[in-house]
Amino acid sequence: MPISTSSNVIARSTVCQSPNCGSMIPLRDGSIMWIWGVGSNWPPPHPLQANFSKDGGRTWSDPVSLRLEDGSDLVGFLCPSLVRMRSGKLGMVQEQTAWDFNQGSARIKATFHASSDEGKTWSAGVALNARRPREHPYFDQLHQLSSGRLIIPCAGLIGPSPTGDFDNFTLAGERFRNAYAYNLAIVTARYSDDEGATWQRSFNEVYASIDGGRGGNYGIGEYGIAEQSDGKLVMLGFSGLGRIFRSCSEDGGETWQQSEPTDVQGSGPLCVKRLPGSDDLLLIWCHGSRWEAMSGYPRHRLSCAISSDGGATFRHFKNLESLDDVDTIETEPLTPYVQGRIWKQPSDPSRYHRAPGPLRVDHPFCTFDRGNAIIAYGLGTLGDIGFLERFYHTTVEEVCARFDFAYDRKTGRIKGSNKVRVIPIESLYTEGPISDGSDPLSDGGNRKT
């Protein structure tokens, strides 16, 4: 039998940015706070936004702007991360401003803030990455370790600024892309032993490799970390090889071991969280095959799985969203990950029987409250509109209406929405798909391909 959960597509009037790259945290009054940025760094500066839920994540308030302690706006671009610190205060890391964000040479100012009044006001920002603005934090990944140390992983790039058509190429007459082709994407960490007053950088960097580097080195990005009960840190990240890679640290994130490939196929962005009262890890990621990526629907399937051995192996595979009923993708060889340049709906409606639907289901983040996992992610991208309308004999407006997308036919631009799912943690361990019985994209699946 399908697992009963609740799910809710969040209207753009409630959260206007999709995917919103946000973070959630339970508050002392029993509510949950969700913080996100509007994703724009053009003047005038925009404050971070917060929504609140009083029913365990099932419904959400209208957004309100965050304020600093002096009453001014807490300006933010994207990627907030929230944590409850040992002192009782809330801590937050966020990307305050960004330049050249989409040119492979992003320069980002990241800051840490603390709140003593449950998020009503926040301290002035402390810079994390002033000397290395190409290394910036990922969202929803700020942690306080058992030692009291605050730590957050950061993405980075090594190499010159790209020029020209740097990530597209032609193969057999078709256009493809590899988003990690122009620089080496690395992961580092920033950590603080004084509750965010000062920050240090990890000694070394993490990236992917084949055969210890003899087969080449490749980027890792869109990652997550979690602490085990023995104090070991586990990092999982999407690689430019189409496989999730794993690295560990035994000194609180100061140094990291060489990464190794797991058997988990797919792409990022991903979320890793340690389940409450357990040493098990919950992984949420875009689970897909190379064939799907090259065909133009690499992120239609958002899956979750559980590891009981520190991220080395996973079980209990389930889909949160998928256009088909496949929930386990067989492991494929380590070769550079290639995506179709044009995204489009699947041309096999017998297998992908929920198509047409969102092709970009990604940027998941998660919190836990009263025995439930509260998982949020973005919905977007319908792909080639002409193909959608010709092949499926529908209009893009009709499909957009199902998912609260905004569509401008003059420009062809589609703005997506977000979704929140509330799932009992114990249900993540049971057999069978996850379903709420009402959502056409969320009746899961339990097949392999």
Query: Strands (DSSP E) along 120-266, which ranges?
Result: 121-122, 126-127, 136-137, 143-144, 150-158, 168-171, 174-177, 184-192, 200-201, 208-209, 217-218, 220-227, 233-239, 243-249, 260-265
Residue 3 pLDDT:
47
Quote the percentage of the chain above a pLDDT of 70. Answer: 92
Of the candidates 272, 254, 257, the one whose C-alpha atom is nearest the C-alpha of residue 310 is 272
Q: What is the spatial distance between Cα 80 and Cα 326, in angstroms, rounded to a whole number?
A: 32
Of the candidates 141, 57, 33, 63, the one whose C-alpha atom is nearest the C-alpha of residue 419 is 57
CATH for 3-17+131-448, options being 1.10.10, 2.40.10, 2.60.40, 2.120.10: 2.120.10
Residue 180 pLDDT:
64
Indicate yes or no: pTM above 0.85.
Answer: yes
266 exposure class (CB count in 10 Å sphere: 0-12, 13-18, 19+): buried
Tally of CB atoms within 10 A around 198: 12
pLDDT in tens, 203-222: 999 999 999 899 999 999 88
pLDDT in tens, 82-114: 999 999 999 999 998 877 766 666 788 999 999
DSSP helix/strand/coil, 392: helix
CA angle 30, 36, 38 (to 5 degrees): 150
Question: Amino acid letter at 21?
Answer: C
Domain boundaries, the chain: 3-17+131-448
Report the mean per-residue pLDDT for the chain.
91
Which residue's structure tokens are 């000397």? 131
> Residues near 182 by Cβ (< 8 Å), separated by ≥ 6?
104, 159, 162, 166, 167
Using CA atoms, how far residue 15 sits from 10, 199, 263, 378, 419, in Å, is 7, 31, 35, 10, 10
Band of residue 442 on the pLDDT scale cut at 50, 70, 90 = very low
Of the candidates 16, 167, 182, 44, the one whose C-alpha atom is nearest the C-alpha of residue 105 is 182
Of the candidates 296, 386, 380, the one whose C-alpha atom is nearest the C-alpha of residue 343 is 296
Longest dimension (CA), the chain: 60
